[in-house]
Amino acid sequence: MISESRRRVALLVALAAWVAPGVARALPSDADRATARALAREGYEAEKQGAYALAAERFARAEELVAAPTLLLGLARAQVGLGKLVEAEETYQRILREGVEPGSPAPFAKALEDAKREAPALAPRIAWITVDVQGPRTPRVIVDGVDVAPAAMGVRRPYDPGNHTVRVSAEGFAPLERSFGVTEGEVQTVTLAPRKLPTPPDTPSSVSEVRMSASAEPSEPMTVGTKLGITAVGLGAAGLLLGGAAGVLVLTEHESLSNVCPNGHCASNESSELRQYHTLATVSTVSIIGGACMATTGIGLLLSSHKTSSVTASVGFLRIGVGGTF
Sheet holding 156-159, edge to edge: 156-159, 127-133, 187-192
Q: Does one domain contain both 229 and 320?
A: yes
Q: How far apart are CA 204 and CA 286, in angstroms?
A: 57
Instruction: Look at residue 75 and tell me whether its pLDDT is greater than 60.
Output: yes
Minimum mean pLDDT range among 33-37, 115-119, 140-144, 259-263: 259-263
Domain membership of residue 208 (yes or no) is no
Domain end marker among 124, 141, 169: 124
Residue 219 falls inside a structural domain:
no
Residues 184 and 236 in one domain: no
The predicted pLDDT at position 20 comes to 40
pLDDT at 201: 74
pTM, full prediction = 0.54
More confident residue, 63 or 228: 63
Whether residue 140 is found in the same domain as residue 172? yes
Q: 179 and 270 in one domain?
A: no
Provide the pLDDT for residue 270: 59
In a domain, 206, yes or no: no
Last residue of a domain, one of 171, 192, 213: 192
Mean of the pLDDT values across residues 256-272?
A: 64
Q: Choose between 62 and 241: higher pLDDT.
A: 62
CATH number, domain of 105, equals: 1.25.40.10
Q: 142 and 148 in contact (C-beta within 8 Å)?
A: yes
Strand partners, 166: 143, 178
- Residue-wise pLDDT tens digits, 168-179: 999 999 999 999
Number of domains in the chain: 3
26 or 69, higher pLDDT:
69
12 and 82, same domain (yes or no): yes
CA distance 294 to 285: 14
| Position 44 in a domain | yes
Averaged over 92-113, what is the pLDDT? 92
Whether 90 is covered by a domain: the verdict is: yes
| 77 plus 135 within the same structural domain | no
Q: Answer whether residue 182 is part of any domain.
A: yes
pLDDT tens for 31-60 read 999 999 999 999 999 999 999 999 999 999
CA distances from 39 to 31, 57, 94 (A): 12, 9, 20
Give the pLDDT of residue 164.
Answer: 96
- Phi/psi region, residue 102 (left: phi>0; alpha: psi -120 to 50; beta: rest), is beta
Name every residue whose Cβ is closer than 8 Å to that of residue 175 and which is 6 or more positions away in sequence: 167, 168, 169, 194
Average pLDDT, integer, range 201-216: 52
Give the pLDDT of residue 322: 53
How confident is the prediction for the chain on average, in pLDDT? 79
Candidate from 5-14, 62-71, 244-253, 289-298 with smallest mean pLDDT: 5-14
The answer to whether residue 313 scores a pLDDT higher than 70 is: no
| Burial environment of residue 146 by CB neighbours within 10 A (0 to 12, 13 to 18, 19 or more) | exposed
- Structural domain that includes position 270: 224-324
Stretch among 150-164, 168-182, 266-280, 297-311 having the lowest mean pLDDT? 297-311
Pair (23, 100) in one structural domain: yes
Percent of the chain scoring above 70 in pLDDT: 68
49 shares its domain with 144: no
d(CA 14, CA 107): 10
pLDDT at 95 over 90: yes
- Asked if residue 153 and residue 102 are part of one domain, the reply reads no
Identify the pLDDT of residue 316. 52
* Length of the chain, in residues: 326
The reply to whether 12 and 108 lie within a common domain is: yes
Both 261 and 293 in one domain: the answer is yes
> Residue 311 has what pLDDT?
47
Average pLDDT on 152-166 reads 94
Return the SS3 of 42: helix
Residues 151, 47: one domain? no
Q: Considering 124, 149, 173, which residue would you say is the last residue of a domain? A: 124
Q: The domain spanning residue 152 has which CATH number?
A: 2.60.40.1120
In contact, 319 and 244? CB cutoff 8 Å: no
Q: Is residue 210 part of a domain?
A: no
326 vs 304: which has the higher pLDDT: 304
Question: Of 12 and 114, which is predicted with more confidence?
Answer: 114
Return the closest-CA partner of residue 77 out of 98, 56, 93.
56
Domain-located, residue 200: no
